[in-house]
Each structure stands twice: as C-alpha cells, then as structure tokens.
C-alpha cells in the first residue's frame, strides 16, 4: 500500500492565516524532497519515525514543531507506519499564533512546547490520535488553531508587498515594492522580518525560484529561463537551482 497524502484548504475563518494542511500516512519507508517555502510550517508527528535531512545533517523532530524559512532543499524521511500532519501557514500567518518576532526562529525548527501551552498541545495530540479519519483530524486541528489566535490583524502593507512578489513571480525589485506600500526601505525590511521571519529579498528569491521551476516545461533553453527570471547568468541560475532542489536543472528533468 502506497503512502497517502491528503491536502486540505482551511475554513474561511482561518484562510487568512493558513495556506493548507497535509495529512501524510506512510505505509512503507518514504522519502520526499521538500523545496524551500515562503512561510513557516507546523509539523505534528502522530505515529512512527519522522526525520529530515538537510545538507549533511540528520534531524529528528519533536512531537510538535515549528520550522522556519529555509534556503535549501529538505528531505523528509518517514518510516513504515508513520503519520504526520503539516500546517503550512500564510507568509504572515504564524505571527498571529505565536505573536513574537518570527525572525527569532531558525530554519531547523523549534519544539512547539517552547512556544505554546504544554497542556493544550498534549490535548491536541491526544485528540488527533483518537480521530479515525483525515477529515475529522483536520476539523479537530482547526478548533485548536481558532483558539490559539493571538493577533487577528497584520500590517496590510506587508500583506500587499507579498502579493506584489507573488504577482511578479519574485521578479520585482525590493525597493520598488517598498515604494509601492509607502515605506522607506529600512522600515519595510524591519517590519517584513518581524512578521514573516525572512528578509524581503529572501522570500522574493524563494517565490522566484518556485515560479521558475513551474515554468521549466515552457522553455527549451535554461539560459532564456534564467534571463527571463532576472538571474545574472545561467551559471548563477544553476547554482541557485541546485541549492534549492538538490539537483541541477538537467538532473531535475530526468
């Protein structure tokens, strides 16, 4: 029996904070490469063994953990019988639950027990284990998340800035975005890091590379693709691509 991955969109009252949920059940040893994403991820480990490898390091996650922004590919490793739930926040979403400067958290991740109430997390974990199917587990998780919201508003200027980045596929200049939301560059970068955990340049770069990867089938030349997405030259693009995916573009297409 193959590994099952079910993706869910959040209910309307949570979609301003959460991008999606993944419920993963591994019925065999399973490894999946995860490219850098432009927001924080909450991982809830329910059953089995769950580790991940980044570059040369191998890490074991606590039962509930919050992972920050990454610059390079991560390889999720699940043993037979493992079960995890992943909450992918909106770029600004995690701030509303943890209400702290998100740039204080690193890419390796931190135990949820250092950020939230231990009893609440234990009750969440027990409740998720008791639910019998994916739909009920996600419903139970959303009840928990709704109770955990600490800050219900975000700076709309940062929201609009990220929208600019997505619409332009990460190809718009940071100074242009700052001007468009009426912030000087220093204030913009400070507010952006506190809310999203990354610099505008870092998140824009992640959006740009993810967009470039999606556009690969439309191109016959990596040189043209690199040029269209604003990379200095093809070698610059290939270097960034390999860090992002763990492979060269040619290896990626095989």
Q: Cα–Cα distance between 64 and 75 in angstroms, integer?
A: 18
pLDDT value of residue 165: 96
User: The tokens 């419903």 sit on which residue?
Assistant: 139
- End-to-end Cα separation, the chain, in angstroms: 25
Query: What does the alpha-carbon distance between residue 4 and residue 67 come to, in Å, rounded to a whole number?
Result: 23
CB atoms within 10 A of CB 144: 17
Tell me the C-alpha distance between 30 and 76, whole Å: 8
pLDDT score of 153 more than 90: no
Give the integer Cα–Cα distance in Å for 93 and 212. 25
State the average pLDDT over residues 207-221: 91
pLDDT in tens, 77-110: 999 999 999 999 999 999 999 878 888 876 667 8
Q: What is the pLDDT of residue 121?
A: 95
CA 112 to chain centre: 16
C-alpha–C-alpha distance, residues 171 and 207, integer Å = 9
Q: What is the pLDDT of residues 19-59, one digit of tens each?
A: 999 999 998 888 888 898 888 999 999 999 888 888 777 88
Cβ–Cβ under 8 Å, residues 195 and 154? yes
CA 17 to chain centre: 12
User: What is the reported pLDDT for 109?
Assistant: 75
How is residue 181 annotated by DSSP?
T
pLDDT greater at residue 3 or residue 142: 142
CA dist., res. 152 & res. 99, Å (int) = 10
The pLDDT score that the predictor gives to residue 17 is 94
* Domains in the chain, CATH or no CATH each: 4-148 (2.60.120.10), 156-248 (1.10.10.60)
For the chain, give the percent of residues with pLDDT over 70: 98
The mean pLDDT value of the chain amounts to 91
Decide the pairing of beta strands 57-60 and 4-8. unpaired
Find the mean pLDDT for residues 140-153: 91
According to the model, what pLDDT value does residue 6 have? 94
Residue 88 pairs with which residues in a beta bridge? 20, 41
* Confidence at 160, pLDDT banded by 50, 70, 90: very high
Q: At residue 1, does pLDDT exceed 70?
A: no
Rounded distance between C-alpha atoms, residue 48 and residue 84, angstroms = 9
Scanning the structure block, which residue is given the tokens 């992002």? 244
pLDDT per residue as tens digits for the range 166-210: 999 999 999 999 999 999 999 999 999 999 999 999 999 999 999
């Amino acid at each position: 029996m193959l590994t099952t991955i079910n993706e869910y969109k959040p209910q309307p009252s949570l979609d301003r904070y959460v991008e999606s949920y993944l419920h993963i059940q591994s019925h065999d040893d399973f490894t999946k490469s995860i490219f850098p994403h432009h927001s924080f991820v909450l991982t809830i480990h329910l059953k089995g063994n769950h580790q991940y490898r980044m570059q040369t390091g191998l890490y074991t996650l606590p039962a509930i953990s919050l992972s920050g922004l990454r610059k390079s590919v991560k390889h999720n490793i699940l043993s037979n019988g493992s079960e995890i739930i992943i909450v992918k926040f909106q770029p600004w979403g995690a701030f509303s639950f943890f209400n702290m400067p998100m740039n204080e958290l690193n890419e390796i991740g931190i135990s949820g027990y250092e950020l939230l109430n231990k009893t609440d997390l234990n009750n969440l974990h027990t409740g998720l284990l008791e639910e019998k199917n994916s739909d009920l587990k996600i419903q139970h998780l959303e009840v928990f998340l709704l109770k955990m919201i600490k800050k219900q508003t975000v700076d709309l200027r940062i929201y609009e800035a990220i929208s600019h980045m997505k619409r332009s596929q990460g190809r718009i200049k940071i100074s242009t975005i700052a001007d468009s939301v009426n912030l000087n560059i220093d204030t913009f970068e400070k507010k952006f890091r506190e809310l999203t955990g990354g610099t505008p340049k870092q998140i824009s770069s992640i959006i740009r590379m993810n967009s470039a990867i999606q556009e690969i089938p439309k191109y016959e030349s990596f040189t043209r693709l690199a040029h269209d997405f604003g990379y200095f030259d093809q070698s610059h693009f290939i270097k960034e691509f390999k860090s992002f995916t763990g492979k060269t573009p040619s290896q990626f297409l095989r």
